[in-house]
């Protein structure tokens, strides 16, 4: 009897165990996406939770669109367009898409490939004139040290998949190329601009016209444009920086394939639906577009296709892209097999700090791209420290930093402290930056980099004596440290120009004043003043002569302007010279 009972009990245990394990396996096989959850419940949850999430993360305004079964089922605005004016974000509020522009451009490129306007695997250099290429490079193709052989192999496929080896903000002479095309992944806005030049030349039209014809109009994106429109003055959101200050609108007058789209979450969701549903593009072309081309992070299951980042998780493949223009940060992720996606746009530096939360709440799944990019969550200790310093002043640095570093040593690295100091100086919190860098120098007294950062903070504040002192100290301790002293040379030359400017006659300065495309120089009270369209600073800055043709711009330590002249000694162009060695040239409108 006991045997029978024991056998029956064990049998029941085994059956229950197998059933439990089977249930777990089935649960793992089921998508964690919210495909079976009632959309009305999801929307209700989002409407309840998003405002609180935005408040925690200090995000002023947000717009979101939810896609189910390949259709937009809900979109809404939250918060304010501008933290000062308190105007509410609506469904029609315009946001900067930033890098969400890239896959949008890629979609149009794929359509041009369908039309045989462009070949995916033909080297781009064959479509452009040599002089145009050399102008963009800033030097001849045969420049010593330049990888002309790599440039000659770059194709549209390489550009769209970020495997071209072209730079992303880096500069120098020779023009930097980082590897042979197709061998590695490296995100590059420059690559997209290179392809834009090809597309514009082949179509004989401006990019904004091409995008309108091939994407904006066909997809019904009525509120979107690749350049600024006057009507956006009333409908656009203002971007907000690290400490929540609203910034002026950036009014792009020239389209850029990597970043210039102005849009709404609803409009961009129309594009996402088109990609998922194969609208306006052939089925085989769409398949090619979403086929991985290069590994990004094998361990995380991340690759890059012809336009979008791709991830593969337990829910299947998904395409994604982030947008980051500092004061506008956005994200989109879509699972095409399940026809489910979310698009959200924000007008905040902290927009991507809520990405994991928003993706989880809206569609489920994981924002692996955001994790790969290492955007910090809104409760990141460095954010907490920075805000306390802003509120309490420089004395809070000495009070809080040692404790925070002891509690969160990995978060408060030298790199992080350097970046945070830059944040403080950019926000004109010079005493806070100085206090931060002084502690850093105290802990690293033989670091030329740490000392030069302190010197720069003093120079940004306007204290040239202290800046000079610390720059000299940095040079003295630089014997054993591999630190490039070019930045110190530039800063010391800036100080010298302020203290001993080159004297030039008013009549001569008058010959330099004029319009040079987007650059403008005017003469006022015997001095030249400079403004560039689209720059963060909207006011004219004083130019101070270093020589007859080269000037510093007051307040811009590491930037120089050089005038070019023709044989009659007339100023014909301005060359902007940047800290990294990069240059750009603008021609004079009228002589």
Where residue 244 falls (left for φ over 0; alpha for ψ -120 to 50; beta otherwise) is left
| Confidence band of 21 (pLDDT split at 50, 70, 90) | very low
Q: What pLDDT is recorded for position 460?
A: 95
Phi and psi at residue 62, to the nearest 5°: -150, 145
Cα 258 off chain centre by: 10
pLDDT (mean) for 312-336:
96
pLDDT at residue 13 above 50? no
For 113, 197, 253, 272, 517, the CA distances from 256, given in Å and listed in that order, are 20, 10, 10, 20, 17
Say yes or no to pLDDT of 29 above 50. Answer: no
CATH topology for 381-499?
Answer: 1.25.40
pLDDT tens readout for residues 31-80:
489 999 999 999 999 999 999 999 999 999 999 999 999 999 999 999 99
- What is the residue whose two structure tokens read 């698009």? 343
Mean pLDDT value across residues 10-15: 38
Instruction: Round to whole Å and give the CA distance between 307 and 319.
Output: 9
pLDDT band for position 585 (cuts 50, 70, 90): confident
Higher pLDDT, 26 or 128: 128
Domain ranges of the chain: 1-30, 381-499, 506-587
Query: Is 584's pLDDT higher than 80?
Result: yes
Higher-scoring residue by pLDDT: 6, 91 = 91
pLDDT in tens, 514-528: 999 999 999 999 999
pLDDT value, residue 6: 36
According to the model, what pLDDT value does residue 23 have? 37
Q: Who's near 130: CB < 8 A, 6+ residues apart?
A: 141
Q: Give the confidence band of 170 by pLDDT, cuts at 50, 70, 90.
A: confident
Tell if the pTM clears 0.85, that is, is over it: yes
Give the pLDDT of residue 481. 64
Q: Is the pLDDT of residue 19 over 50?
A: no
CB-based burial, 333-343: b 16+ in 10 Å, e otherwise: bbbbebbbbbb
Mean pLDDT of all residues in 467-481: 87
Q: Side-chain half-sphere of 325: how many Cα atoms within 13 Å?
A: 24
pLDDT at 173: 81
User: Exposed (0-12), middle (13-18) or buried (19+): which is 192, by Cβ within 10 Å?
Assistant: buried
| Whether pLDDT at 280 is above 60 | yes
The arithmetic mean of pLDDT across residues 319-340, rounded, is 97
pLDDT for position 289: 97
- Tens of pLDDT, residues 379-402: 999 999 999 999 999 999 999 999
pLDDT at 27 over 70: no
Domain spanning 506-587: CATH 2.60.40? no
Which of 17-26, 238-247, 534-543 has the least mean pLDDT?
A: 17-26
Mean pLDDT of 442-452: 92
* pLDDT tens digit sequence for 88-120: 999 999 999 999 999 999 999 999 999 999 999
**What is the phi/psi pair of residue 588, to 5°?**
-70, 140
* E-assigned strand segments in 220-282: 262-263
């Amino acid at each position: 009897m006991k045997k029978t009972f024991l056998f029956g009990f064990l049998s029941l245990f085994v059956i229950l165990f197998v059933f439990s394990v089977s249930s777990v396996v089935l649960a793992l096989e089921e998508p964690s996406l919210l495909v079976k959850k009632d959309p009305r419940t999801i929307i209700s949850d989002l409407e309840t939770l998003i405002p609180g999430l935005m408040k925690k993360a200090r995000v002023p305004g947000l717009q979101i669109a939810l896609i189910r079964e390949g259709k937009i089922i809900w979109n809404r605005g939250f918060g304010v367009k501008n933290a000062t004016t308190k105007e509410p974000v609506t469904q029609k509020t315009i946001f900067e898409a930033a890098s969400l522009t890239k896959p949008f451009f890629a979609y149009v490129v794929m359509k041009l490939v369908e039309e045989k306007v462009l070949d995916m695997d033909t080297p781009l250099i064959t479509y452009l004139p040599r002089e145009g290429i050399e102008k963009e490079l800033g030097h001849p193709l045969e420049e010593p040290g330049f990888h002309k052989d790599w440039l000659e192999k770059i194709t549209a496929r390489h550009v769209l998949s970020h495997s071209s080896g072209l730079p992303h903000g880096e500069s120098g002479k020779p023009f930097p190329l980082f590897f042979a095309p197709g061998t590695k992944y490296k995100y590059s806005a420059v690559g997209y601009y290179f392809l834009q030049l090809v597309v514009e030349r082949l179509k004989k039209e401006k990019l904004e016209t091409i995008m309108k014809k091939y994407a904006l109009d066909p997809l019904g994106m009525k509120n979107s444009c690749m350049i600024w429109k006057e009507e956006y003055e009333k409908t656009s959101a203002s971007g907000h920086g690290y400490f929540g200050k609203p910034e002026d609108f950036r009014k792009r007058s020239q389209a850029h394939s990597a970043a210039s789209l102005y849009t709404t979450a609803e409009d961009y969701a129309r594009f996402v639906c088109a990609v998922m549903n194969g609208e306006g593009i052939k089925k085989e072309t769409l398949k090619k577009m979403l086929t991985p081309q290069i590994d990004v992070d094998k361990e995380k299951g991340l690759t890059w296709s012809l336009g979008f980042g791709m991830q593969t998780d337990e829910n299947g493949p998904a395409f994604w892209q982030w947008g980051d223009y500092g004061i506008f940060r956005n994200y989109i992720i879509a699972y095409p097999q399940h026809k489910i996606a979310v698009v959200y746009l924000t007008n905040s530096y902290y927009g991507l700090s809520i990405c994991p939360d928003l993706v989880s709440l809206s569609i489920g799944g994981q924002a692996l791209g955001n994790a790969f990019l290492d955007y910090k969550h809104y409760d990141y200790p460095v954010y907490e420290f920075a805000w306390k310093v802003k509120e309490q002043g420089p004395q809070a640095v000495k009070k809080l930093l040692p404790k925070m570093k002891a509690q969160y040593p990995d978060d408060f690295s030298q790199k992080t402290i350097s970046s945070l100091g830059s944040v403080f100086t950019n926000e004109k919190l010079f005493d806070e930056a100085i206090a931060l860098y002084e502690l850093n120098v105290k802990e690293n007294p033989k670091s030329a980099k740490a000392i030069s950062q302190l010197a720069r903070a003093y120079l940004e504040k306007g204290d040239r004596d202290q800046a000079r002192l610390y720059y000299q100290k940095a040079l003295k301790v630089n014997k054993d440290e591999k630190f490039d002293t070019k930045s110190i040379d530039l800063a010391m030359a800036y100080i010298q120009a302020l203290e001993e400017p080159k004297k030039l006659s008013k009549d001569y300065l008058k010959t330099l004043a004029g319009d040079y495309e987007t650059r403008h120089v005017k003469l006022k009270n015997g001095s030249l003043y400079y403004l560039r369209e689209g720059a963060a600073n909207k006011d004219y800055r004083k130019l101070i002569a270093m020589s007859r043709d080269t000037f510093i711009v007051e307040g811009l330590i590491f930037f120089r302007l050089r005038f070019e002249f023709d044989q009659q000694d007339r100023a014909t162009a301005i060359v902007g010279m940047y800290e990294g060695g990069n240059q750009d040239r603008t021609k004079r409108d009228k002589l």
